Structure formats: structure tokens, C-alpha cells
Amino acid sequence: MVLGKGASSSLSMKMADGAEDMVNNNNFTVLVVDDDPLIRKLHDMHLKNFGLRAQVVENGKKAVDLCHVGANFNLILMDREMPVMNGAEATKELRAMGVNSLIVGVTSCGSPNEKQAFMEAGLDYCFEKPLTPDKITFLLQELNKNN
Ligand SMILES: [Mg+2]
């Protein structure tokens, strides 16, 4: 299930013709926030295949701390359930700090209410885990639209 901004219709599209160009023509900065080392590795690998180099941290607090000291990301991939600071709290805090990155929830569990609360914390989109090439293609299209 995908929530937010008409994402479901866009996601059903196959890779656009320009997708290959996007692989080599982007300098977007990405932050992966997830407490699961396997997911961090998997997402990092998918992003690398698109020529994206991601920074990875294991909880929301570390994401907030990074942005506090001036780190800047075009895209933040945010898990929901994490120790220390969860994805919703971190997203709220980042938005309150004025962070206007594309923040995308990537989450495996949770009731519709929990997902809704996560969206309302300030997400642009919320995807089911794991990230896939189709989802990354969609996000790159969004980044290219807005940057
Ligand atoms: Mg988690």
C-alpha cells in the first residue's frame, strides 16, 4: 500500500524512458534511516545501482543530529519503528527544523492508523518495505521535478 500525493498511479507505471539517464545524471544526496542492518545494506545496494551514494544511520535521533549540524539531503528514507527515536518523531522534528527534503517512510508493519500518523508527521510518501528499483525510479522522478 502506498499513501500520499497520488503515488499509487505513478508507481504502477513501468520505468520511464528517461530512467537510464537518471542513473548517471544525478547528484542527489540520500540518507537511509533504519535500525535493521540488513535493510540498511539492501537499500544502500539498490541506491548504488542508481548511482546514488547514501549515508546511513540507525535511528531517528542520528538523522536529526546530522541535520542539526548542517547536513543536507535531497531524500531521506525513514523507517518507522526504531529505538531511541522512531521515524514519526524524527520526521516531526526535521520538519520543525525547516528540513524540506523529500522524506519517505519505508515501513514493514503498522496498522493503517499508525501509517496515517506517520504520514501526518510530515512524510511526502509512505512505502512498504523493502525499497525496490521501481520505487527508487519513482522517487528520482519526483526529485528531478523539484530540483
Ligand atoms: Mg525498524
CATH number at residue 57: 3.40.50.2300
* CA 7 to ligand 1 centroid distance, Å: 23
Per-residue pLDDT at 26: 67
Residue 133 has a CB neighbour count (10 Å cut-off) of 12
* CA 30 to ligand 1 centroid distance, Å: 18
* CA 3 to ligand 1 centroid distance, Å: 19
Section 70-93 average pLDDT: 97
Whether residue 132 has pLDDT greater than 80: yes
* CA 87 to ligand 1 centroid distance, Å: 9
Q: Structural domain tally of the chain? A: 1
Give SS3 for 77.
strand
What's the pLDDT band for 23 if we cut at 50, 70, 90? low
Residue 109 lies in a domain: yes
* CA 89 to ligand 1 centroid distance, Å: 13
Whether residue 8 has pLDDT greater than 50: no
Residue 2 lies in a domain: no
* CA 24 to ligand 1 centroid distance, Å: 30
Determine the structural domain holding residue 95 and report its residue range: 7-146
